[in-house]
Amino acid sequence: MLLPALIVFAAAPAPKITVQLPVVRSKTVVAAAALRDAKTWATAKKVWLLSTAKRDANEPWYKELTYPYTLEITSSVSTDHPSLQSYRLMAGTYTGGAHGNGQYFTVNKVMTPAGQGDLMLSQLFLPGIDYRAELAKVLHRKLSETNQASSLEDGTVSAENALSSAQWTVSTRGIEFGFDNYAVGSFAEGMPIVTVPFSELIGLNPAGPLRFLLK
Protein backbone atom coordinates (compact mmCIF):
# COMPACT_ATOMS: atom_id res chain seq x y z
CA MET A 1 0.00 0.00 0.00
CA LEU A 2 1.39 3.33 -1.07
CA LEU A 3 1.17 6.13 1.45
CA PRO A 4 0.60 9.66 0.24
CA ALA A 5 3.77 11.70 0.04
CA LEU A 6 4.29 14.11 2.90
CA ILE A 7 4.87 17.62 1.62
CA VAL A 8 6.91 19.79 3.95
CA PHE A 9 7.11 23.53 3.42
CA ALA A 10 10.22 25.12 4.85
CA ALA A 11 9.57 28.12 7.04
CA ALA A 12 11.00 31.47 6.02
CA PRO A 13 13.93 32.69 8.11
CA ALA A 14 12.95 34.73 11.17
CA PRO A 15 13.36 38.51 10.84
CA LYS A 16 16.84 39.76 11.70
CA ILE A 17 17.20 43.04 13.58
CA THR A 18 20.36 44.82 14.75
CA VAL A 19 20.35 48.29 16.29
CA GLN A 20 23.34 50.47 17.12
CA LEU A 21 22.27 53.69 18.84
CA PRO A 22 24.48 56.77 19.31
CA VAL A 23 26.92 56.72 22.21
CA VAL A 24 27.84 60.10 23.69
CA ARG A 25 29.75 61.37 26.70
CA SER A 26 27.45 64.29 27.51
CA LYS A 27 24.97 63.73 30.36
CA THR A 28 22.87 66.87 29.91
CA VAL A 29 19.13 67.31 29.29
CA VAL A 30 19.98 68.06 25.67
CA ALA A 31 21.79 64.75 25.27
CA ALA A 32 19.00 62.87 27.06
CA ALA A 33 16.37 64.36 24.74
CA ALA A 34 18.44 63.62 21.65
CA LEU A 35 19.06 60.01 22.65
CA ARG A 36 15.37 59.60 23.42
CA ASP A 37 14.44 60.77 19.90
CA ALA A 38 16.97 58.38 18.38
CA LYS A 39 15.64 55.44 20.40
CA THR A 40 12.03 56.31 19.56
CA TRP A 41 12.77 56.30 15.83
CA ALA A 42 14.69 53.02 16.05
CA THR A 43 11.87 51.40 18.01
CA ALA A 44 9.31 52.53 15.44
CA LYS A 45 11.41 51.00 12.64
CA LYS A 46 11.65 47.74 14.58
CA VAL A 47 7.87 47.63 15.13
CA TRP A 48 7.33 48.35 11.43
CA LEU A 49 9.61 45.50 10.30
CA LEU A 50 8.07 42.95 12.67
CA SER A 51 4.51 43.94 11.74
CA THR A 52 5.38 43.77 8.04
CA ALA A 53 6.83 40.28 8.49
CA LYS A 54 3.74 39.19 10.43
CA ARG A 55 1.46 40.58 7.72
CA ASP A 56 3.34 38.76 4.96
CA ALA A 57 3.90 35.49 6.82
CA ASN A 58 0.94 33.73 5.23
CA GLU A 59 1.84 34.71 1.68
CA PRO A 60 3.10 31.78 -0.43
CA TRP A 61 6.11 33.76 -1.65
CA TYR A 62 7.12 34.65 1.92
CA LYS A 63 7.62 31.00 2.79
CA GLU A 64 9.99 30.69 -0.15
CA LEU A 65 12.32 33.44 1.05
CA THR A 66 15.90 32.33 1.61
CA TYR A 67 17.01 35.67 3.06
CA PRO A 68 15.20 37.06 6.12
CA TYR A 69 13.37 40.33 6.45
CA THR A 70 16.13 42.51 7.85
CA LEU A 71 16.56 45.78 9.72
CA GLU A 72 20.03 47.10 10.44
CA ILE A 73 20.31 50.48 12.15
CA THR A 74 23.69 52.16 12.46
CA SER A 75 24.49 55.59 13.84
CA SER A 76 27.18 58.24 13.91
CA VAL A 77 27.64 61.25 16.17
CA SER A 78 28.38 64.50 14.35
CA THR A 79 28.46 66.68 17.48
CA ASP A 80 28.58 65.75 21.16
CA HIS A 81 28.57 69.03 23.08
CA PRO A 82 26.73 69.47 26.39
CA SER A 83 24.50 72.12 24.77
CA LEU A 84 24.40 70.77 21.20
CA GLN A 85 23.79 67.20 20.03
CA SER A 86 23.69 66.11 16.40
CA TYR A 87 23.39 62.48 15.22
CA ARG A 88 22.78 60.62 11.97
CA LEU A 89 21.09 57.21 11.99
CA MET A 90 20.74 54.97 8.96
CA ALA A 91 18.23 52.13 8.59
CA GLY A 92 18.97 49.48 6.02
CA THR A 93 15.92 47.29 5.40
CA TYR A 94 15.07 44.26 3.32
CA THR A 95 11.49 43.03 2.90
CA GLY A 96 11.78 40.91 -0.22
CA GLY A 97 12.49 41.81 -3.81
CA ALA A 98 15.69 42.39 -5.70
CA HIS A 99 17.33 44.62 -3.12
CA GLY A 100 16.81 46.41 0.15
CA ASN A 101 16.36 50.06 0.89
CA GLY A 102 18.05 52.73 2.99
CA GLN A 103 16.80 55.68 5.00
CA TYR A 104 18.53 58.39 7.02
CA PHE A 105 17.19 59.98 10.18
CA THR A 106 18.89 62.83 11.98
CA VAL A 107 18.55 64.26 15.46
CA ASN A 108 19.57 67.86 16.20
CA LYS A 109 19.02 69.26 19.70
CA VAL A 110 20.21 72.52 21.23
CA MET A 111 19.93 74.35 24.54
CA THR A 112 18.18 77.73 24.34
CA PRO A 113 17.16 80.26 27.01
CA ALA A 114 13.75 78.54 27.00
CA GLY A 115 15.25 75.07 27.49
CA GLN A 116 16.29 72.25 25.18
CA GLY A 117 14.60 71.93 21.82
CA ASP A 118 14.99 70.90 18.19
CA LEU A 119 17.67 72.74 16.25
CA MET A 120 16.19 74.22 13.08
CA LEU A 121 18.21 74.93 9.95
CA SER A 122 17.02 78.54 9.99
CA GLN A 123 18.63 79.05 13.40
CA LEU A 124 22.08 78.67 11.86
CA PHE A 125 21.66 81.82 9.77
CA LEU A 126 21.18 85.51 10.42
CA PRO A 127 17.60 86.83 10.27
CA GLY A 128 16.58 87.99 6.81
CA ILE A 129 19.00 85.71 4.96
CA ASP A 130 17.51 83.62 2.15
CA TYR A 131 19.43 80.64 3.45
CA ARG A 132 17.46 78.04 1.48
CA ALA A 133 18.41 79.58 -1.86
CA GLU A 134 22.02 79.77 -0.75
CA LEU A 135 22.07 76.16 0.45
CA ALA A 136 20.31 74.86 -2.65
CA LYS A 137 22.94 76.47 -4.85
CA VAL A 138 25.85 75.05 -2.88
CA LEU A 139 24.22 71.62 -2.56
CA HIS A 140 23.71 71.41 -6.32
CA ARG A 141 27.43 71.97 -6.84
CA LYS A 142 28.48 69.57 -4.11
CA LEU A 143 26.15 66.79 -5.26
CA SER A 144 27.29 67.21 -8.87
CA GLU A 145 30.80 66.41 -7.71
CA THR A 146 29.75 63.05 -6.21
CA ASN A 147 28.48 61.40 -9.42
CA GLN A 148 25.61 60.11 -7.25
CA ALA A 149 22.90 62.58 -8.23
CA SER A 150 21.71 61.83 -11.77
CA SER A 151 18.13 62.91 -11.00
CA LEU A 152 19.43 66.31 -9.96
CA GLU A 153 21.66 66.57 -13.00
CA ASP A 154 18.91 65.74 -15.50
CA GLY A 155 16.41 68.06 -13.82
CA THR A 156 14.06 65.37 -12.52
CA VAL A 157 14.75 66.68 -9.00
CA SER A 158 15.39 70.36 -8.31
CA ALA A 159 18.04 71.57 -5.89
CA GLU A 160 15.27 73.04 -3.74
CA ASN A 161 13.49 69.66 -3.53
CA ALA A 162 16.80 67.96 -2.78
CA LEU A 163 17.31 70.33 0.13
CA SER A 164 13.79 69.63 1.43
CA SER A 165 14.38 65.86 1.36
CA ALA A 166 17.83 65.98 2.98
CA GLN A 167 18.56 64.82 6.50
CA TRP A 168 21.21 67.11 7.97
CA THR A 169 23.58 67.27 10.91
CA VAL A 170 26.18 69.79 12.06
CA SER A 171 29.80 69.19 12.95
CA THR A 172 33.03 71.15 13.13
CA ARG A 173 33.40 70.36 9.40
CA GLY A 174 30.16 72.14 8.43
CA ILE A 175 26.59 71.14 7.66
CA GLU A 176 26.36 67.52 6.51
CA PHE A 177 23.46 66.54 4.25
CA GLY A 178 22.41 62.92 3.69
CA PHE A 179 20.07 61.72 0.94
CA ASP A 180 18.01 58.53 0.95
CA ASN A 181 17.89 56.02 -1.89
CA TYR A 182 16.22 57.60 -4.93
CA ALA A 183 16.17 61.13 -3.42
CA VAL A 184 18.65 62.55 -5.93
CA GLY A 185 19.62 59.55 -8.07
CA SER A 186 19.08 55.90 -8.84
CA PHE A 187 19.32 53.09 -6.30
CA ALA A 188 22.69 52.08 -7.76
CA GLU A 189 24.05 55.55 -7.01
CA GLY A 190 23.61 54.96 -3.30
CA MET A 191 22.88 57.38 -0.48
CA PRO A 192 25.25 60.32 -0.86
CA ILE A 193 26.41 62.46 2.05
CA VAL A 194 27.88 65.84 1.26
CA THR A 195 29.46 68.33 3.64
CA VAL A 196 29.08 72.06 3.11
CA PRO A 197 31.88 73.80 5.01
CA PHE A 198 30.82 76.84 7.04
CA SER A 199 33.34 78.89 5.05
CA GLU A 200 31.29 78.35 1.87
CA LEU A 201 28.04 79.68 3.33
CA ILE A 202 26.85 83.27 3.45
CA GLY A 203 24.94 84.69 6.39
CA LEU A 204 25.82 82.20 9.13
CA ASN A 205 24.94 83.47 12.59
CA PRO A 206 28.12 83.23 14.70
CA ALA A 207 26.16 84.10 17.83
CA GLY A 208 23.59 81.35 17.26
CA PRO A 209 23.86 77.60 17.91
CA LEU A 210 27.00 77.44 15.77
CA ARG A 211 28.91 79.31 18.48
CA PHE A 212 29.50 75.89 20.02
CA LEU A 213 31.32 74.80 16.86
CA LEU A 214 32.85 77.97 15.40
CA LYS A 215 35.80 78.30 17.75
pLDDT for residue 61? 86
Say how far apart CA 33 and CA 57 lie, in whole Å: 36
Per CATH, the number for 9-119 is 3.30.565.40
For position 41, what pLDDT does the model report?
98
pLDDT tens digits, residue range 2-33? Answer: 555 554 455 668 899 999 999 999 999 999 99
In the chain, where the domains are located: 9-119, 120-215
Note the pLDDT of residue 137: 92
Residue 194 CA to residue 70 CA, distance in Å, equals: 27
> For the CA atoms of 135, 141, 146, 152, what is the dihedral angle to 10 degrees?
80
Tell the CATH topology of 120-215: Actin; Chain A, domain 4 (3.90.640)
Q: What is the pLDDT of residues 132-178, one digit of tens each?
A: 998 999 999 999 999 999 999 999 999 999 999 999 999 999 999 99
Tell me: pLDDT of 65 over 90: no
Residue range 95-120, pLDDT digits in tens? 988 889 999 999 999 998 778 999 99
Q: How far apart are CA 26 and CA 150, in angstroms?
A: 40
The predicted model scores a pTM of 0.89
Are 122 and 131 spatial neighbours (Cβ–Cβ below 8 Å)? yes
Residues 63-91: what's their mean pLDDT?
95
